[in-house]
């Protein structure tokens, strides 16, 4: 669901946030009336609604909307799904890649829906661990596959721009259900997500 059209921003939310960001700019010692900043509160109000639009979206509805009966029962992996989220502690971005797999049990879903589910849970205030589990649970609950695996690798701006100021640390989180709890299946998934079948790594 696109969220860039004017009418998709909630007017009362936009107005409340505009006021809030105008005050924030002044509190930070800037002049909110300065030419370059006059429209900034409105831009921020819209940007923040865009970045948190996941609260208005239902991952299970998206997955069920493209749930197809299919006998395929090997691993389906969608890897390198880029994600942008915001840590709930500092409301600063964290960004990276999600790798998602499932082993069907009578049903498959549209491949794009896997990426949409990543977006739906990313566009909220998050911690990387919960994001990882929410993606897994949504797929497990709707497709009821033989197993789901989710690995997220991300960098957190709150650890880069401020605080501990570490520029190269990458946080990896993972969640596994069903057959992926078995070491062999999990190892196959880990091998496939680090392979370069299309020469991209
Ligand atoms: N587990 C987890 N922690 C996160 C995530 N994003 C940010 N954090 C951490 O949340 C913690 C909040 O710790 P606090 O001590 O309350 O905050 P702080 O004083 O700003 O901490 P520093 O970042 O160490 O300066 C920090 O250690 C962040 O690195 C995340 O996705 N998962
Ligand atoms: Zn943070």
Nearest Cα neighbor of 53 from 117, 116, 123 is 123
pLDDT digits (tens, 9 = 90+) for 75-104: 999 999 999 999 999 999 999 999 999 999
- The answer to whether the beta carbons of residues 173 and 151 sit under 8 Å apart is yes
pLDDT digits (tens, 9 = 90+) for 104-141: 999 999 999 999 999 999 999 999 999 999 999 999 99
Total-model pTM? 0.93
Q: How far apart are CA 121 and CA 43, in angstroms?
A: 23
Q: How far apart are CA 79 and CA 151, in angstroms?
A: 9
**Is residue 90 annotated as a catalytic residue, yes or no?**
yes
> Which residues contact residue 200 at a Cβ distance below 8 angstroms, ignoring those fewer than 6 apart?
80
Find the mean pLDDT for residues 17-34: 98
DSSP secondary-structure letter at 168? S
**pLDDT at position 2 over 90:** no
ipTM comes to 0.90
**pLDDT at position 1 over 50:** no
Q: How far apart are CA 163 and CA 28, in angstroms?
A: 19
Residue owning the nearest CA to atom 4 of ligand 1: 127
Q: Phi, psi at residue 9, to the nearest 5°?
A: -90, 140
Q: Which residues surround ligand 2, an ion (CB under 5 A)?
A: 87, 89-90, 158
Find the mean pLDDT for residues 65-69: 97
Find the mean pLDDT for residues 15-24: 98
Nearest Cα neighbor of 90 from 159, 172, 185, 24 is 159
Residue 2, number of CB atoms within 10 A of its CB? 6
Q: How far is the CA of 164 from the centre of ligand 1 (A)?
A: 10
């Amino acid at each position: 669901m696109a969220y860039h059209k004017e009418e998709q921003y909630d007017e009362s939310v936009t107005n409340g946030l505009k006021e809030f960001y105008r005050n924030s700019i002044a509190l930070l010692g800037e002049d909110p009336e300065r030419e370059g900043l006059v429209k900034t509160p409105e831009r921020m109000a819209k940007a923040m609604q865009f970045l948190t639009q996941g609260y208005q979206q239902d991952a299970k509805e998206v997955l069920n909307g493209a749930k197809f009966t299919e006998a395929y029962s090997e691993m389906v992996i969608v890897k390198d799904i880029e994600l942008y989220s915001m840590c709930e502690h500092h409301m600063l971005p964290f960004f990276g890649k999600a790798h998602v797999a499932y082993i069907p049990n009578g049903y498959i879903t549209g491949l794009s829906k896997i990426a949409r589910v990543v977006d739906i849970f990313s566009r909220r205030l998050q911690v990387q661990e919960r994001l990882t589990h929410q993606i897994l649970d949504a797929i497990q609950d709707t497709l009821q596959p033989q197993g789901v695996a989710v690995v997220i690798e991300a960098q957190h701006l709150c650890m880069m721009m401020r605080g501990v100021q570490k520029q190269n640390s990458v946080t990896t989180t993972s969640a596994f259900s069903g057959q992926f709890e078995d070491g062999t299946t999990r190892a196959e998934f880990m091998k496939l997500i680090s392979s370069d079948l299309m020469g991209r790594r």
